[in-house]
Structure 1
């Protein structure tokens, strides 16, 4: 039975929050007792003082992971045995779904309705999906000279560091550790200091599920922890989701050290193209609103640029204003809330500065444009959209990571595609049209890892690979392609 606003509030008041790192077989403080404050962005209250790991903790965790990987306590298990343990892990995530959802909402500010319906069940689904896949993925027998037997196999890469973002903390973490664990690796998760609580709790659940000591560890801390992991000579692979700027640093550290395998899922400035023959303008406007206001716009796939044909611009804007009303921010613990708080003061100030920049550069407000609920001491911003006179305004080009939409007008399909591709990013895109040929032609021309047609941000199924072109990164999360990231190919040639 779904909980009420009051019930979630009462549960939050009684919640016991684990604040320590998880190294080896259990929770521990940082050796120097250093901590950082974990604050609820909806009201400014301190949630916990979280262990801030340093070089000592990184070295301990990597040493534990290396020993655990090398002795085969996990990688040496039969795939079916690993699958059974991972399925228990997924079941424990579901059994603790209310607790994990509450941690996610208190820590990051997202609506509890999203945490319970998207983030936590999505993480359990991810772990379960890869558990079910690993005993069904085999190698190859190469077609070689009959005097030889040629085998092509995949082996786990070794020690994997997963540096994960603050916007979907448990879900994005699962997209890394799910396939990495399934492939047989030892994993060290470094959660964002802005939202570390679910990753910390997951470590205890992983151990309870039977994942061996040293195979799943969590190191909370700031950027120095990610840097140390990326530089560590005993880390074999690093998977990062976050900003393009930090991704470049991670790649540099990897190259500077042992040339560890490096997978980056980075930023986006995704175009949502509304063509003249859009089949349903109101539905397109609702999808555009969801594509930028869901999760407070703190999404790498956010449809932050709506490219609208001049002939349908006015009805689109009218429908967009109406749709935006449904995202006015509210208490994240209220199940009726659709947009919560911005994650922290730094991001809050950044988003407001972009809104001010849009105004100063001549963009016209369609809706929003201000802070909200200031009496709560929370970090809330109205769902905001601008009608932009040209596509090269700052708000049209830079990733804002907040609930700010730029509406750009075009006259031809070629112009729309040119504007859409005129960005350093290439994560996602969408096109709305009634013509199936146009849909295919435009989708082929868009330089993006995911293209939606007549929808936006649909298809949360694990069968779809997720990642981008250009400076949106490399490699793919989700799908069987993600398993490839955490393995090495080996050719074995036997002479008969």
Structure 2
């Protein structure tokens, strides 16, 4: 797959928007798109200006008011979703290569995890809407109450740069499954796979004009124009907490809703009765998969003091042995950071940790042997307190902090001492303890004796500054529909005859 890099460096592609069934002309500023493994340009993104965003939103509105997608049957929506699923799998090698080229995530992960999951999202929602329905209540004598779920309308779907296709596909599949139209905006850092998917969708003619639209650009230009557009009915955003707050502020002006999947600083608690090898493997995966650039990373480790020395020795040895290199190399386990700013940020956090009294166990600096791209040595630090910046801030990198603990109440309190609340990880063979601690951890999801796992039938999302709303099955239904109650009188109700005495 290395030839993909040479091909795109030699002839960078031009990325534009897709509006009302056609690729838009290049109208805004040119933004370079780089390969983080080499620092070289592989594409030119032509920013969608406010006019292009407006045309996309208006096209999306027409598609659900007067076009063939208006009131589309479950069968029609299922057919379209399955067509996207099949198209992704048919082009899986190419899409995985583009995802790796654009993000620096190892090809072994994009091909075996990210792209199949992106496809599965569409298949899952095609199956879910076939089984999902409204509700009927007859408990009130003389009445029947119907609860139905109607499309919310035009959805703005803003995706992240750390798993561009997989996470944005979740939004697209959910929005389209429930009968909405959408305007998609990928991160300006990683637009390649979404652009290619839209090319495939266009070639196959999967959706009527205006149902799916693509805009590209910086948050300050394209993102603001989209989230503040008066004809957008809701925004689903995955990304940083600060950006999510700005989007919510824009939505509040229009009294509109938004679903935010934001940051995390998830605790991973290893109790003294844990399966040592399983917990060690899981802690490493939770901290370093996806180059450590995951909102659900379990990178804030708490290890029971009874075997902390043994765990620290094994964990540090494994961190130092992680294979950092070209993400197209099958042996690579850690690729580059997304850009130089992120690489420099990781180094600054390692320095701040040392300044606050933490002990550097591994890494903490740019990789000496890989000068061209944005490579960092996988990092682990032993923290003296949960109050340290390295324990409170989302670093979004292959960067783990470790603290020791003595008792259950103490570790639960420290795990909850965070402005985030996305995921919690527990490692114990005591079922009662597992359920007791899971109930005490203040997060949207708790994973017990397993690293990263998503079951789409359940909801995924966070509390506090980790976000608002849930994705998956009923969570996505709540996000992308409006609940309507219809009350039917089955017999003539007794009513006061106002004005009858006049």
Relative to the length of structure 1, the TM-score reads 0.95
Q: Could you say which residue in structure 2 is the equivalent of 1:5?
A: none
1:58-78 deviations in Å (ceiling 9; x for gaps): 101001111111115224221
Please give the alpha-carbon distance, in whole angstroms, between the structure 2 residues aligned to 1:65 and 1:427: 32
1:218-276 deviations in Å (ceiling 9; x for gaps): 111001212221111100010011111111111111001x2222100111110001112
Please give the alpha-carbon distance, in whole angstroms, between the structure 2 residues aligned to 1:45 and 1:209: 34
Match of 1:358 among 321, 331, 353: 353
Q: Could you say which residue in structure 2 is the equivalent of 1:344?
A: 339
Please give the alpha-carbon distance, in whole angstroms, between the structure 1 residues aligned to 2:406 and 2:40: 49
Whether contact under 8 Å (2:336, 2:373) holds in the other structure is yes
- Structure 2 residue 101 is the aligned partner of structure 1 residue 80: no
Q: Could you say which residue in structure 1 is the equivalent of 2:494?
A: none
Q: Which runs of 5+ in 1 are unaligned?
A: 1-7
Please give the alpha-carbon distance, in whole angstroms, between the structure 1 residues aligned to 2:286 and 2:118: 21
Q: Could you say which residue in structure 1 is the equivalent of 2:305?
A: 310
- Structure 2 residue 243 is the aligned partner of structure 1 residue 246: yes
**Number of equivalent positions:** 485
SS of match in other structure, 2:123: helix
Q: How far apart are residue 206 of structure 1 and its match?
A: 2.7
- Structure 2 residue 414 is the aligned partner of structure 1 residue 398: no
- Structure 2 residue 271 is the aligned partner of structure 1 residue 275: yes
Task: Determine which structure has more spread, i.e. the larger CA radius of gyration.
Answer: 2
Match of 2:416 among 404, 416, 421: 421
Q: How far apart are residue 290 of structure 1 and its match?
A: 1.2
Q: Could you say which residue in structure 1 is the equivalent of 2:186?
A: 191
1:278-318 deviations in Å (ceiling 9; x for gaps): 222x3212211111111111111111210111111111111
Whether contact under 8 Å (2:353, 2:389) holds in the other structure is yes
Match of 2:379 among 372, 379, 384: 384
**Alpha-carbon distance change, 204 to 121 in structure 1, aligned in 2, over 3 angstroms:** same
- Structure 2 residue 279 is the aligned partner of structure 1 residue 284: yes
Q: Could you say which residue in structure 1 is the equivalent of 2:496?
A: none
Tell me which moved more, 94-103 or 485-494. 485-494
Q: How far apart are residue 328 of structure 1 and its match?
A: 3.0
Please give the alpha-carbon distance, in whole angstroms, between the structure 2 residues aligned to 1:422 and 1:215: 43
Q: Could you say which residue in structure 1 is the equivalent of 2:232?
A: 235
- Structure 2 residue 448 is the aligned partner of structure 1 residue 443: no
Q: How far apart are residue 153 of structure 1 and its match?
A: 0.7
Q: How far apart are residue 147 of structure 1 and its match?
A: 4.8
5 Å-filtered alignment, 1:42-191, equals: 42-143=37-138, 147-191=142-186
Once superposed, what is the RMSD of the aligned Cα atoms?
1.6
Q: Could you say which residue in structure 2 is the equivalent of 1:4?
A: none
SS of match in other structure, 1:184: coil
1:375-434 deviations in Å (ceiling 9; x for gaps): 441000111100111221110111111111110111111110010000011100111112
Q: Could you say which residue in structure 1 is the equivalent of 2:484?
A: 490
Please give the alpha-carbon distance, in whole angstroms, between the structure 1 residues aligned to 2:311 and 2:396: 23
Please give the alpha-carbon distance, in whole angstroms, between the structure 1 residues aligned to 2:2 and 2:324: 17
Match of 2:323 among 319, 328, 332: 328
